[in-house]
Chain A
Amino acid sequence: MRLLSCVFFFLLTGFDTIAQQNYAVGNIPPELMVRASAVIRNDELSIEVKDLNDVVIRVKAAVTVLNKNGDREAHIYVWYNKTRQIKFIKAAVYDEFGLLKGKIAEKEFKDESAASNYSLFEDSRVKKFSPAVTTYPYTLEYEYEVRSKQSLILPEWTPNTTTGVSLENAKLTLICKPDFAIRFKEENYAGKVNVTDTEELKTYTWEVHHLKALRDEPYSPSADTYLPVVRIAPVKFAYQAVNGSFTNWLEYGMWMNEKLLLNRDLVPAETAAYIKELVKDIDDPRLKAKKIYEFVQNKTRYVSVQIGIGGYQPITAAEVDRLGYGDCKGLVNYTKGLLKVVGINSYYTIVEAGSDKKSAITDFASMNQFNHAILCIPFPKDTTWVDCTSKTLPFGYLGDFTDDRIALACTETGGKLIRTPAYPSDASSQIRKANFKLDEKGDLNGEMTTTFDGLQYDNRAELINEPYTEQVKKLQQIYTLNNLEIKSFKLEEDKGRIPVTTERMKFYAREYASLSGDRYFITLNALNRGRSLKEVHNRVNKLDISRGYTDIDEITYTLPDNYKMDGLPENFKMEQPFGQYSIDIQEKGNTLVYTRKLHLKEGVYPPEKYEDLVNFYQRVAEMDESRISMVKRIVNQK
């Protein structure tokens, strides 16, 4: 991390942004032009807390777009709703030499609903604008002021978040009354906050200067582990007629319980009676909970409902019961209510979902660290987790959407940070056994059985519950065997304690082998091919393999009698700290047993290890491509 800090920022303390900036492109330091399609010239975010229910947010920014790719940085996007009003927005465009080309008034901004996809959304709207400039470079300068009636959620300061963009100057200012206490957390921030006090006001300032443009590097750690972020949270706050205070996760959880969750999990009597009846013959509490989870999966569906306290409060269990749908919060709260009916305690848990494993910051409690709700059921020896938005996942299975990260469980005694289960690479396997019979025309009759577990359990999610014809179509995309014709196919899910999906199929592929003269070519591995990775010269980021896997393919080939092997490929094995790969080929008469094993291990490695990973996968891709060639036996005419 120390190394990264040196590369990324040179903090010039004491340097103050000049009020009237000259946007001439010539003024941009040369090192900020490297790999950049846009340069953030200036980005000032100022938060002024005038009162608990009166917060003014001001943004003043300018971005220079160097070429067409940088256009995406020249978007102004400001959202608002009933409790967050836009006071003004204005913008101006400057040319390469920093000369004013035109001003943009608020009425030229597009005004749209902020809802996307299918969402029962109430009132969030957005004003947006992107300039039409065809001569590069140009600079877009903009300024706006937003007035928010709450002080619970203050904006996060992330001066540079995307690749291909460098940054000249950025500044965060928080202005408040001296009695408005805050907590703040700086990450990857090399400087020190500057605090000034007067009798009326207290001012906190953070600044960064000269951040070079980043490259997109595959297998990088999550960006917030190396980019500067400053988070601010109030000690006391007002939020839509709810006042409150918290300074740590424990208190946060208490506040959630009291203000957002209390009594919302009451289930209608009829449903409660039904649930009791449903599980009355089950003794094991875990199996009871499983039954109830499956009831919820069957009864409800996920619909995004952004209603209620700013999208933080679940709709009541009674509502979900009546409607048969809800968002993640509503469904978790409903399931929790149902479990309570039969005396099973569970925790409403919030988490940052997504393939990046983002954990709650353990020593800094704030609202905007989560985007999803799941349910934690603390059985004495066996804490179980469920995602109530899925209609298909097994009880106790989270998958890669919320695995292996710190989440906040709202327990009866307050908030508690708990890590969700991880799926280690050796338990995330795909194991296949196949029999391939080839005839002398090169046609293939095959059958195979594949099991998937751990993180790979879900590999066939797109096929589950699909009609047979649809499954067949998708299988042709999954298995890139030329002329693949599925003869039969069956998918079974074992939703037991260790969930396993089993796929069985029989198939035919015309001209699987290529015939050329008296030769017969077969690609040995047509089912599971590795793909080569892109190199990254002068890589900066660490190599982060956040999830690994284990694949074992064993294919038994029965070959046509009238051909003989023209030399057998050698067995192969390679080993790296992050994984192993091996190919084993055994010949027995006219059969050939091909076994391929690939194991990628999760872990964080120094940046230079990435090159080894590239070479590793390159080798895998080559070996997976390899063919054997056979020649026709010379038949002695009798």
Chain B
Amino acid sequence: MKKLLICLALSLCFIHVYPADFPYGVVSLEDLNMKVYSKDTSANAVVLQEFGNTRISSGDGTPLMFEYHVRIKIFNASGFNQGNIVIPIYKSDNERYEEVSEIKGSTFFIDHDGMMRETKLDPKMVIRENKDKHHNLVKFAMPDLTNGCVIEYVYTLNSPYRFNFRNWYFQDDIPKVYSEYIAHIPGVYNYNTVLVGGRKLTKNNMELERECFTPGGGVKADCSKITYIMADIPAFVEEDYMTAASNFKSAIRYELSDYVDYRGIKHQITKEWKDVDYDLKKDPYFGNQMRKKELFKTQLPALIAGQPDALIQAKNIYSFCQKWFKWNGFNQIYSVDGLKKAVETHSGSIADINLALISVLNEAGLNADAVLLSTRSNGVVNNLFPILTDFNYVVARLTIADKTYMLDATDPFLPFGLLPIKCINDRGRVISMSKPSYWIDLVASQKESKIYNLALELLPDGKIKGNIIEISLGYEAYNKRKAIKKFNSVEEYVENLDESMPKTKIISNKIVGLDSLDAPLSESYVVEINAYDNLNKGQFAFNPFFMDRKIENPFKLMERNYPVDWGAPSDIRISLICNFPEGFEVISKPEPVALALPAKGGRFTSEITIDGSQFIFQQMTLLNKSIYQPEEYPYLKELFNKMVQVQKTDVIFRKKQ
């Protein structure tokens, strides 16, 4: 205890305007006694202080040196995962790899005698795991965690990849009181810096450091020492139906723009799009691959021969590629081992498969370009300058006459011209072999839509017999096909469907369009439902909302911080005609409903009409937008609320007196 106080006193002497790293191990009793974080009482843990420092070392190989230091208050056992630390590091081979060293850690807590105690991390308990070809993991578990303890650790990460200047993540799943990052950037290096997320920096300061970078060979460079501070950062709370959290979490990201080598020659790294275009076109794993000819020398003629219609040619090529390749699970914009290899092995990354598709389309005389994009889980791309590492996916964009089609051959269930929802994310960059590149908006080309047609008859014995037709289109057809193909055969799918509705017997079925991906998928079933034991009771209720029923509102938050992003609009229509036995009358039915979202955002209508001994039920749910902004949220929530409401009301029949 005495020693701690001395440390504290000493550190006071060094405080200047922008203090560098905070002193290690100086934990206050106040922090240890803190019962709850007053700015977020729901926090299981809070980062009290966090400091990072990155410089390019002047040492051998001029590695990037990143120092990290953090102190975390843990309130309860749910925050204990903060004490299990995993640092993922990258390696190219046995010569070029990242390393973590100088790991030091301590847990501070009040012991059973009310004394403050420190347990140090045992360096022997730091595990270095060889994860796979390109990844190592450095793991350690902080000792002696108790409710209310404070943990602190530091480490240094050495990286040979100095083009990837260390990004800094201000916002995390737990709140932070104070987070500070210092970047020392030699004047010979020039990085583009982006501040992501909506939060502002509390402080941002730049100083000059004289001759801080002396890699040898007489090179001496000054550095910019840039300090970024953010205080009182709330925890990031993920919401349903949102795109990548990285789009919204506060962080600083770097991309090397250019640098000057020891001979004084300037190397441009991040360039303008025109330079990127040039490089991509010449890249052995991108442009060169896209231009490859004769990938399918023997097969191509048969796909286009005697077929004057360019669209049919394109469709043939697309479905051929879908069948030929199996996606190996990797997202990439560059081919890995070249398209030849991918063709031989029938296997490839997103880039391998779609670049092959582009190459074959062009070889057939069609006009296809590549579109670079970032998937929804990967975050949105930077619009200000080209950051190629932002992109993780490439698809084909085919132009026939004045129509364009977006194609992704990596998924065997996608119809021609439909991108998977994961690709519908802000903007994509069209890379053409003949023109400068340009941005396009990535929007769903089709809706998620479904039509139900039911013609039923309620019989006096309480059974319902009739036909149910379900037509799925766009993304809905895609989803349905995938669901059906999960079974070994259509028979097994129908059997399962039958079994999952114990009161309903499927007498016969007909499924059309299962393998014609461009057509709607239509399922029709003749069914017999054991609805009522008998109709002898004077009165009974019938709920017509048994298709696509919403039992509860999916939106539960009072308000939203981030947009609701579904990727595609949706359109669900139900039409039900039901004959009921003579001798019964309807004494009550749900009232007609017509609700709309502002600015044509969507509509819900539902109506039941009675005509003699027949009732007709029509319902329509339209959600016209892919993305609803937080200000539209209350309307959206209320629309769903009303839908749930309406679906709880019944049609009530009574035996005529």
A134 and B145 in contact, given A164-B488, A467-B42, A468-B41 (Cβ under 8 angstroms):
no
Q: Bound complex: CA of A81 vs CA of B93, how far in Å?
A: 22
Give the residues in chain B near A480, CB-CB below 8 Å.
551-552
Q: Chain A nearest CB: distance from B488 CB in Å? A: 5
Q: Bound complex: CA of A532 vs CA of B546, how far in Å?
A: 14
Quick check: B132 and A467 within 8 Å, CB to CB? Answer: no
As a 0/1 sequence over residues 127 to 148 of chain B, the CB contacts with chain A under 8 angstroms (1 = contact) are 1011111000101110111110
Quick check: A532 and B502 within 8 Å, CB to CB? Answer: yes
Interface-lining segment among A146-154, A320-328, A369-377: A320-328
Q: Bound complex: CA of A480 vs CA of B552, how far in Å?
A: 6
As a 0/1 sequence over residues 129 to 141 of chain A, the CB contacts with chain B under 8 angstroms (1 = contact) are 0001111000000
Give the residues in chain A near B328, CB-CB below 8 Å.
132
A35 and B143 in contact, given A110-B132, A467-B44, A627-B648 (Cβ under 8 angstroms):
no
Please, which residue of chain B has its CB at the minimum distance from the CB of A482? B644
Q: Which of B498, B551, B591 contacts A517 (CB 8 A)?
A: B591
Q: Bound complex: CA of A115 vs CA of B137, how far in Å?
A: 11
Quick check: A519 and B588 within 8 Å, CB to CB? Answer: yes
Quick check: B488 and A533 within 8 Å, CB to CB? Answer: no
A323 and B488 in contact, given A115-B129, A537-B495 (Cβ under 8 angstroms):
no
Quick check: B488 and A535 within 8 Å, CB to CB? Answer: no
Please, which residue of chain A has its CB at the minimum distance from the CB of B322? A134
A514 and B645 in contact, given A113-B131, A537-B499 (Cβ under 8 angstroms):
yes
A113 and B499 in contact, given A299-B146, A519-B588 (Cβ under 8 angstroms):
no
Quick check: B652 and A629 within 8 Å, CB to CB? Answer: yes
Q: A636 at the A/B interface (Cβ < 8 Å)?
A: no
State which residues 418-477 of A face B: CB under 8 Å: 465-470, 473, 476-477
Q: Which of B129, B345, B553 contacts A482 (CB 8 A)?
A: B553
Quick check: A470 and B326 within 8 Å, CB to CB? Answer: no
Q: Chain A nearest CB: distance from B508 CB in Å? A: 16
Q: Which of B122, B140, B648 contacts A521 (CB 8 A)?
A: B648
Q: Which of A68, A112, A391 contacts B77 (CB 8 A)?
A: A391
State which residues 486-510 of B face A: CB under 8 Å: 486-488, 492, 495-496, 498-500, 502-503
Q: Bound complex: CA of A523 vs CA of B486, how far in Å?
A: 36
Quick check: A465 and B76 within 8 Å, CB to CB? Answer: yes
Q: Chain A nearest CB: distance from B468 CB in Å? A: 18
Q: Which of B83, B488, B648 contacts A523 (CB 8 A)?
A: B648
Please, which residue of chain B has its CB at the minimum distance from the CB of A631? B588
Q: Bound complex: CA of A521 vs CA of B130, how far in Å?
A: 62
**Which size class do B's interface residues fall under?**
35 or more
Give the residues in chain B near A517, CB-CB below 8 Å.
588, 591
Quick check: A301 and B649 within 8 Å, CB to CB? Answer: no
Quick check: B552 and A521 within 8 Å, CB to CB? Answer: no
Give the residues in chain A near B495, CB-CB below 8 Å.
537
Please, which residue of chain B has its CB at the minimum distance from the CB of A303? B141
Q: Bound complex: CA of A496 vs CA of B68, how far in Å?
A: 46
Give the residues in chain B near A629, CB-CB below 8 Å.
541, 588, 650, 652
Please, which residue of chain B has its CB at the minimum distance from the CB of A628? B541
Give the residues in chain A near B83, CB-CB below 8 Å.
301
Give the residues in chain B near A627, CB-CB below 8 Å.
541, 648, 650
Q: Bound complex: CA of A519 vs CA of B645, how far in Å?
A: 13
Give the residues in chain A near B652, CB-CB below 8 Å.
519, 629
Q: Which of B80, B144, B649 contacts A514 (CB 8 A)?
A: B649
Give the residues in chain B near A113, CB-CB below 8 Å.
129-132, 137
Q: B318 at the A/B interface (Cβ < 8 Å)?
A: no
Quick check: A465 and B77 within 8 Å, CB to CB? Answer: yes
Please, which residue of chain B has its CB at the minimum distance from the CB of A125? B130
Q: Which of A467, A484, A521 contacts B43 (CB 8 A)?
A: A467
Quick check: B143 and A322 within 8 Å, CB to CB? Answer: yes
Q: B84 at the A/B interface (Cβ < 8 Å)?
A: yes
Please, which residue of chain B has its CB at the minimum distance from the CB of A471? B42
Give the residues in chain A near B646, CB-CB below 8 Å.
514, 516
State which residues 461-516 of B face A: CB under 8 Å: 485-488, 492, 495-496, 498-500, 502-503
Quick check: B145 and A301 within 8 Å, CB to CB? Answer: yes
Q: B165 at the A/B interface (Cβ < 8 Å)?
A: no
State which residues 281-337 of A face B: CB under 8 Å: 298-299, 301, 303, 322-325
Q: B614 at the A/B interface (Cβ < 8 Å)?
A: no
Q: Bound complex: CA of A118 vs CA of B131, how far in Å?
A: 13
Q: B452 at the A/B interface (Cβ < 8 Å)?
A: no
A120 and B41 in contact, given A324-B145, A534-B500 (Cβ under 8 angstroms):
no
A325 and B145 in contact, given A467-B43, A468-B41 (Cβ under 8 angstroms):
yes
Q: Bound complex: CA of A511 vs CA of B641, how far in Å?
A: 9
Please, which residue of chain A has its CB at the minimum distance from the CB of B345? A132
As a 0/1 sequence over residues 513 to 552 of chain A, the CB contacts with chain B under 8 angstroms (1 = contact) are 0101101010100000000111111000000000000000
Q: Which of B41, B77, B498 contacts A469 (CB 8 A)?
A: B41
Give the residues in chain A near B541, CB-CB below 8 Å.
627, 629
Give the residues in chain A near B122, CB-CB below 8 Å.
322-323
Quick check: A111 and B44 within 8 Å, CB to CB? Answer: no
Please, which residue of chain B has its CB at the minimum distance from the CB of A621? B502
Give the residues in chain B near A589, CB-CB below 8 Å.
none
Q: Bound complex: CA of A317 vs CA of B654, how far in Å?
A: 75
Q: A67-B485, A132-B326, A133-B326 provided; 6 other pairs, C-beta below 8 A? A: A115-B129, A133-B346, A301-B80, A301-B145, A516-B649, A629-B588
Ranked nearest first, the 8 interchain pairs of A and B with the lowest CB-CB distance are: A132-B347, A324-B144, A467-B42, A535-B499, A469-B42, A132-B326, A514-B648, A112-B132
> What would 14 A/B residue contacts be, using CB atoms closer than 8 Å?
A35-B488, A67-B488, A112-B131, A120-B139, A120-B140, A121-B129, A299-B146, A324-B144, A465-B78, A514-B646, A532-B502, A535-B498, A535-B502, A627-B541
